[in-house]
Amino acid sequence: MAVITFREALRQALDEEMTRDKEVIVMGEEVAQYDGAYKVTKGLLDKYGPDRVLDTPITELGFTGLAVGAAMAGIRPVVEWMTIQFGLLAIDQLINNAAKFRYMSGGQFKFPLVIRGPNGPAEFLGSQHSQSFASYFVHVPGFKVVAPSTPYDAKGLLKAAIRDDNPVIFLESEMSYGHKGEVPEEEYLIEIGKADVKRAGTDATLISFSKPVLMCLTAAEELEKQGISVEVIDLRSLRPLDRETVYASVRKTNRAVVVDEAWPQASVGSWIQAEIMKDCFDDLDAPVELVASEDVPMPYNHALELEVQPTVAKIVAAVKRVAYKEKE
Amino acid sequence: MAEKVFMIALSPTMEEGSILSWKKKVGDAVKMDEPLCEVETDKASMEYLSSQEGTLLAIVKDVGTSAKVGDIIAVIGEPGEDFSALVAAPAPAPKAAPAQAGPLAPAPRTPAPVAVADASGRVKSSPLARKLAAEKGVNLTDVAGSGPHGRVVKSDIESFTPAVEAPRPAVGFAPSSLGASPLNDERIPVSRKRQVIAKRLGESLFTAPHFYLTLGIEMDRLMEARERINGQRKEKIGLNAFLLKFLAEALKRHQPLNSTWEGDFIQNHSSIDLGVAVAQPDGLITPVVRNAGAKGILQIEAELKDLIDRARNNQLKPEDYTGATFTISNLGSFGIEEFTAIINPPGVAILALGATVKTPVVGEGDALVVKKIMKVTLSCDHRVVDGAVGAGFLTELKRMLEDPYQVLL
């Protein structure tokens, strides 16, 4: 099986889907001539031409609205936001049009629209460009939201997202584009709404999505050396949420830690934490913990920048608390 | 707005009461001072009069359950009002640990682990631990929690081995070898009243240093006087009314016997409030004749009759049976010749009266004469009453009873 990067997996997904269906187009800032800010769309302009790979002006609200209209007309646009941070400018088009019209038109319109781009903190980006906005989209009925952590999942989910007739928000991570993993040659899709058990364990469940999943796997290895067997669940889909897989694991291990690189208040992580406590109450041996970013704007100082985010050490400590392996 | 109805102290010593019946149903209108329910307090059954007006929205404590003073027992408000927030009470306190093994059981080598309960008596435990405990029939209060703040967690339940309840030691013959026994091996729950009796009398005997003075009193003259008086009356006057009157007269002359030990001072009482121990099927109660020193025998007789009637019907109010400054207990009707009684606080002495028995007595000129002798024993709290003081009182009482005219002096 080929070992490729996360960005290559995304590129393959776009390439394959554009070949399969000529209604699939790619648009965004610098996606054509510059091959994309993170080189995800590399080579697509040459292969599919300027009618299907469009460089847009630096007007997020404008080109996102254009994509919403195109989707209503039957095109399947894949919009790249250079980062989700810039997408804040365009969020009205998504929430008030894309997430609503299928419902408000009684199903007459479909929205085969994918919005993709890097979300969450990277490094040296300062307060304004280091934010995780997953909850902004997960909050809204009418969207599907996915956030893969591996090249394999990224490819399968992006292909599924492109084929979906609903607006799908596809959350990536700048720090993951170079991350490598095995991806099969043959075509595959990953169903939106299915979580994946990335590591099996018996003593506690770590639940996360996107980049922090890798941190959870490192923490699980660390904990195994200390005699604590940890199951790691990669949600992959945030909306719809695969409660079944999460709850089955929590009911097995009786302890859970949710890891989310967003701020703790009203976050996807805090919501999942609440769902587990409500639905798995009688199976819990400890309160569900949340490892989140600290409730502060991202500091520019690099040491602080790393320290306010979830770390392997913080995850290890939280698991030990819920497993009662460390006295308070 | 819906309001909670709380259990209140219906007697001065009441800490908890059982609901005997509800006088109102859910949905009934409740007026101020209307009886809401009947409550068995530590001493009597009382009507709980509503201090709230409205509609009875919910009964929180059903008939037969008990409520501590301050516990919510019902909700009163407007019809149809949502009161769910008011009755979302914390989990009930866990039941008491099972009874210890019998006296012959070997003592456990290590002290049994005890769960850490918070101020409300609740044992902290994880939901899973509670579920496992319920499945295994483990009482959470028996389990030592290893989690934060003593929380009982899964591993504590899994590793818990219940203390083996030693079989009760065999007493006498096995019942089967004797055929049907009129007795049984039931465990009887302790009633409120019995708890109070146990607590108060235990406190009295174990904190007040008791000493006892006994003497015999010739009752011939008093009996004659009583017979003569009763001969002219339709309604006979009981001996106790006479005894209370003379007792009050004796107490008037001996203040220390009509007082209360308060630790840093002794409280004298001007009112002579005489308690009379009355047996009821569910335990002793002592109705009080107030200010007996200022009352005549007829009035004492009338009050005594009323009090004893009500005592037997469980209708005494707290003010009827609390605060006796001196108490008598009479077991003469059972033929008991003499006995010692435990002082009934807040009094500092109690007089135990035996049966009046015809007894040969060495009289004047060493002649043997037959006298009606009643033996009485005075229990005194030595913190207030010294031997000579008690003896002085008792001989005064003897002199008065033997020669009733003495009272006139």
Confidence check: pLDDT of B387 > 90: yes
Domain check: are A175 and A225 in the same one? no
Is residue A122 included in any domain, yes or no? yes
Least CB–CB distance from A283: residue in B128, B146, B153: B128
Is residue A327 included in any domain, yes or no? no
Q: With an 8 Å Cβ cutoff, are A284 and B126 in contact?
A: yes
Domain check: are A106 and A154 in the same one? yes
Domain check: are A143 and A219 in the same one? no
CB pairs A-B closer than 8 Å: 29
A286 to chain B: nearest residue by CA?
B126
Out of A130, A153, A183, a domain closes at: A183
Kindly report the nearest CA distance between residue B26 and chain A, in angstroms. 32
Which chain B residues contact residue A285 at CB under 8 A? 126-129, 153-154
- pLDDT score recorded for residue B284: 86
SS3 of chain B: helix, strand, coil, percent, to 5: 30, 25, 45
Cα B217 from Cα B199, distance rounded (Å): 33
Q: With an 8 Å Cβ cutoff, are B153 and A282 in contact?
A: no
Is residue A296 included in any domain, yes or no? yes
Is residue A64 included in any domain, yes or no? yes
Which chain A residues contact residue B155 at CB under 8 A? 324
Segment B294-308, tens digit of pLDDT? 999 999 999 999 998
Cα B261 from Cα A90, distance rounded (Å): 84
Segment A69-123, tens digit of pLDDT? 999 999 999 999 999 999 999 999 999 999 999 999 999 999 999 999 999 999 9
Segment A54-80, tens digit of pLDDT? 999 999 999 999 999 999 999 999 999
The pair of structure tokens assigned to A66 is 């254009």
In sequence order, which residues have a C-beta less than 8 Å from that of residue A59 and are 6 or more positions away?
none
Q: Give the strand order in the sheet containing A168-172.
A: A53-55, A24-28, A76-80, A114-118, A168-172, A144-146, A237-239
Which chain B residues contact residue A283 at CB under 8 A? 127-128, 131
Q: With an 8 Å Cβ cutoff, are A286 and B127 in contact?
A: no
- pLDDT averaged over every residue in chain A: 96
Stated as kind and residue range, the H or E segment containing A231 is strand A230-234
The residues facing B358 across adjacent strands are B372
Segment A254-265, tens digit of pLDDT? 999 999 999 999
Residue A178 has a CB neighbour count (10 Å cut-off) of 11
Which candidate in A228, A251, A281, A285 is best for mutational testing of the B interface (most B CBs within 10 A)?
A285
Q: With an 8 Å Cβ cutoff, are B127 and A324 in contact?
A: no
- When mean pLDDT is compared across A128-142, B81-95, B211-225, B256-270, the lowest value belongs to B81-95
Segment B97-144, tens digit of pLDDT? 344 333 343 443 334 445 556 556 678 899 999 999 988 888 888 888
- pLDDT score recorded for residue A71: 97
Number of domains chain A contains:
2
Domain check: are A116 and A141 in the same one? yes
Out of A157, A183, A209, a domain closes at: A183
Q: With an 8 Å Cβ cutoff, are B126 and A282 in contact?
A: no
Cα A69 from Cα A84, distance rounded (Å): 20
Which of the 8 DSSP states describes residue A23? T
Q: Which amino acid is at B106?
A: P
Domain check: are A314 and A211 in the same one? yes
The pair of structure tokens assigned to A317 is 């400590």
Residue with tokens 């250079």: A82
Q: Is B182 touching A (CB cutoff 8 A)?
A: no
Stated as kind and residue range, the H or E segment containing B164 is none
Check A16, A23, A30, A129 and give the catalytic one: A129
Least CB–CB distance from B154: residue in A285, A327, A328: A285
Check A60, A172, A174, A231 and give the catalytic one: A60
A307 noted as active-site residue: no
Q: How many residues does chain A have?
A: 328
Peptide bond into B281 cis (omega under 30): no
Kindly report the nearest CA distance between residue A255 and chain B, in angstroms. 10
Q: Give the strand order in the sheet containing A196-199.
A: A196-199, A230-234, A204-208, A256-259, A289-291
Residue with tokens 């584009």: A177
Is residue A191 included in any domain, yes or no? no
Domain check: are A89 and A153 in the same one? yes
Taking any CB pair shorter than 8 Å as contact, residues of chain A touching chain B are: 254, 281-286, 324, 327-328
Q: Can you give the residue range of the structural domain that contains A240?
A: 196-322
B157 to chain A: nearest residue by CA?
A285
Domain check: are A87 and A7 in the same one? yes
Least CB–CB distance from A324: residue in B127, B131, B146: B146
Q: What mean pLDDT is predicted for residues B21-32?
A: 89
Which of the 8 DSSP states describes residue B117? B
Cα B285 from Cα A171, distance rounded (Å): 79
A302 noted as active-site residue: no
Residues above pLDDT 90, as percent of chain B: 40
Q: pTM for this structure?
A: 0.55
Kindly report the nearest CA distance between residue A266 and chain B, in angstroms. 25
- pLDDT score recorded for residue B181: 74
Query: Quick one: pLDDT band at residue B81, thresholds 50, 70, 90?
Result: confident
Whichever domain contains A246, its CATH number is: 3.40.50.920
The pair of structure tokens assigned to B120 is 């409300």
Q: With an 8 Å Cβ cutoff, are B126 and A281 in contact?
A: no
Of A152-156, B100-104, B236-240, the range with the highest mean pLDDT is: A152-156
Domain check: are A17 and A155 in the same one? yes
Q: Which amino acid is at B117?
A: A
Out of A116, A148, A183, a domain closes at: A183
- Write out the E strands in B3-63: 3-6, 16-22, 29-30, 35-40, 45-49, 54-59
Is residue A146 included in any domain, yes or no? yes
In this structure, which long-range contacts are made by residues A19-24, counting pairs with CB atoms below 8 Å and at least 24 apart in sequence? A21/A76, A21/A162, A22/A52, A23/A74, A23/A75, A23/A76, A23/A112, A24/A52, A24/A76, A24/A77, A24/A78, A24/A162
The residues facing B39 across adjacent strands are B19, B46
Task: Give the count of alpha carbons within 13 A of B190, CB side only.
Answer: 9
Query: Quick one: pLDDT band at residue A252, thresholds 50, 70, 90?
Result: very high
Domain check: are A240 and A172 in the same one? no
Least CB–CB distance from A254: residue in B128, B146, B148: B128
Whichever domain contains A116, its CATH number is: 3.40.50.970
Which of the 8 DSSP states describes residue A95? I
B154 to chain A: nearest residue by CA?
A285
The residues facing B376 across adjacent strands are B215, B353
Rounded CA Rg of chain A: 20
Which candidate in B124, B153, B156 is best for mutational testing of the A interface (most A CBs within 10 A)?
B153
Cα B167 from Cα B202, distance rounded (Å): 29
Least CB–CB distance from B154: residue in A254, A327, A328: A254
Domain check: are A239 and A135 in the same one? no
- pLDDT averaged over every residue in chain B: 84
Cα B198 from Cα B323, distance rounded (Å): 18
Q: Tell me the C-alpha to C-alpha distance, in Å, between residue B387 and each of B214, B269, B272.
A: 12, 20, 21
Given a contact cutoff of 8 angstroms between Cβ atoms, the answer to whether A41 and A35 are in contact is yes
Cα B382 from Cα B389, distance rounded (Å): 10
Domain check: are A124 and A147 in the same one? yes
Residue A293 has a CB neighbour count (10 Å cut-off) of 22
Question: Which residue intervals of A38-133 are DSSP H helices?
Answer: 44-48, 60-72, 84-87, 91-92, 101-104
- pLDDT score recorded for residue B147: 86
Q: With an 8 Å Cβ cutoff, are A285 and B129 in contact?
A: yes
- When mean pLDDT is compared across B75-84, B272-281, B390-399, the lowest value belongs to B75-84
Which chain A residues contact residue B126 at CB under 8 A? 284-286
Q: With an 8 Å Cβ cutoff, are A282 and B146 in contact?
A: no
Query: Quick one: pLDDT band at residue B171, thresholds 50, 70, 90?
Result: low
Segment A271-303, tens digit of pLDDT? 999 999 999 999 999 999 999 999 999 999 999
Query: Quick one: pLDDT band at residue B179, thresholds 50, 70, 90?
Result: low
Q: What mean pLDDT is predicted for residues A135-146?
A: 97
Which chain B residues contact residue A282 at CB under 8 A? 127-128, 130-131
Least CB–CB distance from A281: residue in B127, B129, B146: B127
Is residue A252 included in any domain, yes or no? yes
Is residue A328 included in any domain, yes or no? no
Domain check: are A99 and A142 in the same one? yes
Query: Quick one: pLDDT band at residue B65, thresholds 50, 70, 90?
Result: confident
Domains of chain B, earliest start first? 3-87 (2.40.50.100), 109-162 (4.10.320.10), 192-408 (3.30.559.10)
